[in-house]
Amino acid sequence: MRIVRYLKNSKIAVALIVCLLIVQAFTDLALPNYTSQIVDVGIQQSGVEHAATEEMTARTHDLVAMMLPEGDEKTFEAAYDETDQGTYKLNAQGEREQAELDRMVSLPLVAIHYSHQIPDLDLDQALQAYQAGAVQKQQILDMLDKAKEQMGDMGDSIVDQQAIAAARAEYEQLGYNLSDMQMRYLVRIGLTMLGLAALGMAVAILVGFIASRTAAKVGATLRAKLFRQVVSFSDAEVQSFSAASLITRGTNDIQLVQMVTVMLLRMVLYAPILAIGGIIMVSRTNLAMSWIIVLAVVVIGVLIVVLMKVAMPKFKIMQKLIDRVNLVSREILTGLPVIRAFDRQPFEEQRFDVASTRLMKTQLFTNRVMTFMMPLMMLIMNGVSVLIVWVGGSYIDNGTIQTGDLIAFITYAMVIIMGFLMIGMISIMLPRADVAAQRVDEVLSKQPTICDPAPGKARDAELAGRTGGARIVFDDVSFKYGDSAECVLENLDFACEPGQTTAIIGSTGSGKSTVVKLIERFYDVTCGSITVDGVDVRDVSQEALRAQLGYVPQKAFLFSGTIQSNIAYSDEGMPEERVELAAQVAQAADFIASKAEGLDAEVSQGGTNVSGGQRQRLAIARALATEARAYLFDDSFSALDYKTDAALRQELHTRLGGKTVVIVAQRISTILHADKIVVLDDGRIVGQGTHDELMEGCEEYREIAMSQLSAEELNGGDAA
Ligand SMILES: Nc1ncnc2c1ncn2[C@@H]1O[C@H](COP(=O)(O)OP(=O)(O)OP(=O)(O)O)[C@@H](O)[C@H]1O
């Protein structure tokens, strides 16, 4: 069970909860016993608990002593002390042995109490005869045994009940106020019950508090781990899960795990304690009716199994359906302008509706099944109560049990059934949470395809501290994405020299962006190698490699914050001058100056409140603000107008003197003056050299150039 594993680091909290739950079970289980006492002793017996009264008259004392076997007589004599008034009071030793005394004195007391109803029996005479030695103890004991035998099976319980009546009569004879006694008893038991209830409540609150804290900690730890793991993923892993699913796993799934962890700590641990405690208490009350509880538990078991069989498959697909709704919503929200432009709202609404309705139907189904559960459970509980009253009624009738015992039995039966109910509810929730936990584990156990070399083997030191440009070399590089059969790049051989601009050009889908992504090591090459200053990119840590590179992605992405925080993204403490210089080189200074807040102007999430060109310029400034040795521009000038494009290239040329520049471009004018142009066609290099060389020797390049440039430009003029 995965969820239990998550509690590995919270052993102390779990142990504490178990201890507290035992206390809570003790209070919960003790209360019905007190209710039973209130009914049996407090009400029916007027608060008289024991047959062995606290005080008795000398006559009763002597008569009881006469009717006890010798061993018991000694104990009895030792338990009572004679008072100045000639009565006998229970002493401390007697209080300790009260249960034993009750057993002894019951029959003699009943005999004394009812003696006047038996003709020809004069106990006083018998006592005199006994004291005079005319009658032997054994004769009296035989007489008592015979009387008891005549009462049959019910003898014991009848004697117990009548003994209490006799004790009451004894108290009355001594002038005790019985209603005061009753009130004192009721108040004492009532206060004990209140105290127990308060303790139970305090413990329950404490358990809830610790359980919630522990579960919240489990949730937070899982979220942190998941986030760290997802951040370490390459594009391939993110794609394999899909961003929407990763979000559901990080939010909904972990939330479910957290919720069930609370239930696990509060209910799953409590249920067996309660059920076992209840069974022990019931066995003390009345075993004859236990079959009712067994029957109820079996019925509940069957009910839960049926419900699980019906609802479980639906529970299992629920998480996938939530994923789907997330995916569709994300796509629709991101593509809203396109949807509007093509007037596809009805279609998208329909798509969303399908995903949402499937989720709704599944949830409705499971909720409906669950709705059945509560009334059915109540039916079972009420049925059990009725059965107990019915069966118990006859037991009360023939004196086997008392009314209070019956009430206590009903309550214990409910406690046991509740325990099993809780186990049932959890057994429905747990598999669902287990699916969620499994989904989280899938992410956590996914091995990132891009890994750093072993700590001792990393060649970071060879790159650290170098200045000037970096020499990037592609040596017979081939690459294919994931499991796809075809190579996107094949046998690439070229070098990007320091202090030079290397341009990569080619038709759409020819693999230009992939080249840059391979330098950044977002993916690993399938064959061949890429080296930076002679060091294979796989032999250095990703951090060290990327510190050498300034990257501007094809799709400029900005974070919510300010212009300043976006440009200084690589280093929060970046000096203002560097931010300004980067903005200036990236041709963003003018538009920043036009903003009232300047560098502190707000940027919304994804940079949606700036234009495409401005976004590109800020993304360029962000890369230029780093201290990289090679700058990779992946089609980063496409949204710039020709003038800005030219000015930017001019600035790059002068400011980035010795650095390496790699420019992926669609527009030939952007790369016209590059030191080397690599022409890609369908993942293969079809030519490399300067513009002039390629115009002469590369058919594909000439075609692109002729389609984009005027005759004048082709003859040496500048497109800008
Ligand atoms: N994540 C990916 N998974 C699978 N295939 C991909 C992935 N990214 C790109 N491709 C495929 O690899 C090929 C090259 O893509 P790439 O983005 O490198 O081309 P490009 O030359 O930069 O195109 P463009 O000029 O349109 O940006 C394309 O055929 C594309 O379908």
Series of mean pLDDT values for 10-residue runs along the chain (720 residues) = 83 93 90 86 86 89 88 89 90 89 87 75 81 83 76 64 87 88 92 95 95 94 94 87 87 91 87 82 74 85 83 80 87 87 89 93 87 84 89 82 81 82 77 85 89 85 84 93 86 91 89 92 92 92 90 88 90 88 88 86 81 87 90 84 80 82 86 88 90 87 82 55
**Residues 494 and 560 reside in one and the same domain:** no
Q: 489 phi and psi, to 5 degrees?
A: -125, 140
Measured CA to CA in angstroms, residue 331 lies from 334, 358, 690 at distances of 5, 18, 42
Contact 439, 319 (CB under 8 A): yes
Range of the domain at 690: 470-548+628-720
- Does residue 94 share a domain with residue 227? no
| CATH code of 714's domain | 3.40.50.300
Is the shortest distance between the CB of 36 and ligand 1 below 6 Å?
no
> Per the domain annotation, does 115 fall within a domain?
yes
Residue where a domain stops, chosen among 173, 204, 235 = 173
Total domains present in the chain: 4
My answer on whether 377 and 416 are in the same domain is yes
CATH number of the domain enclosing 315: 1.20.1560.10
Do 237 and 136 reside in the same domain of the chain? Answer: no
Instruction: Based on the fold, state whether residues 84 and 156 are members of the same structural domain.
Output: yes
Torsion angles phi and psi, residue 16, rounded to 5 = -65, -40
Let me know if residue 138 belongs to a domain. yes
Contacts for 125-133: CB closer than 8 Å, 24+ residues apart = 126/66, 127/62, 127/63, 127/66, 130/66
Please check whether residues 268 and 387 belong to one and the same domain. yes
Pocket test for ligand 1, best of 477, 480, 484, 512 (most atoms within 8 A of CB): 512
Q: What atom in ligand 1 is closest to the CA of residue 514? A: 18
Residues 287, 402, single domain; the answer is yes
In this structure, the answer to whether residues 324 and 308 fall within a common structural domain is yes
- Residue 458 falls inside a structural domain: no
φ, ψ for residue 48 (rounded to 5)? -90, 115
508 CB less than 6 Å from ligand 1?
yes
In a domain, 302, yes or no: yes
701 and 711 share one domain? yes
- Residue 238's nearest CA partner among 443, 481, 537 is 443
Domain limit, last residue, from 395, 430, 445: 445
- What lies within 8 Å, CB to CB, of 274 at 6+ separation is 25, 28, 29, 415, 416, 418, 419, 422
Q: Which tokens is 181 given?
A: 């006694």
- 491 and 577 in a single domain? The answer is no
234 lines ligand 1 (CB under 6 A): no
Tokens of 48: 């008289």
Ligand 1 site, residue 37, Cβ cutoff 6 A = no
531 and 411 in a common domain: no
Helices (H) and strands (E) in the chain, counts: 30, 15
Nearest CA to ligand 1 atom 29: 509
User: Is residue 583 a contact partner of residue 592, using CB atoms and an 8 Å limit?
Assistant: yes
The residue out of 597, 627, 657 marking a domain boundary is 627
Residues contacting 452, CB < 8 A, separation 6+: 458, 541, 542, 543
Q: How many angstroms separate the alpha carbon of residue 184 from the centre of ligand 1?
A: 89
Q: Which of 488, 504, 520, 681 to mutate to test the pocket of ligand 1 (most atoms within 8 A of CB)?
A: 488
Token pair of 29 as six digits: 């289980």
What letter would DSSP give residue 454?
Answer: P
Q: Which residues are CB-neighbours of 130 under 8 A, at least 6 positions away?
A: 66, 137, 140
CA distances from 368 to 39, 79, 313, 318 (A): 41, 66, 14, 15
In this structure, the answer to whether residues 540 and 511 fall within a common structural domain is yes
Residues pairing with 82 in the sheet? 88
| 488 ligand 1 Cβ < 6 A | yes
